[in-house]
Amino acid sequence: MNLHLPILFLASTVATAAAFTPKKADAASNRYHAAHCVMPGNDGDGIKRSDNYGAGNIYAYLETMVCPVDDIGTFSKADAINFVVEVRDHTSSFYIKAATCVDFRGGTGGACGFSDQTGTSFVGFDTLIRTTLQTDSIKPWVTYFADFGYIEVDLPGGTPSNYSSVRGYKVGY
* Cα–Cα distance list, 140 to 49, 71, 74, 144, 166 (Å): 29, 13, 19, 5, 22
Q: What are the residue ranges spanned by the domains of the chain?
A: 23-172
For the chain, what percentages of helix, strand and coil (3-state, to nearest 5) are there?
20, 40, 45
CA pair distance 121, 91, nearest whole angstrom: 7
Q: Coil, strand, or helix at residue 112? A: strand
78-133 tens-digit pLDDT: 999 999 999 999 888 899 999 999 999 998 999 999 999 999 888 999 999 999 88
Q: Quickly name the fold that domain 23-172 has.
A: Jelly Rolls (2.60.120)
pTM, rounded to two decimals: 0.79
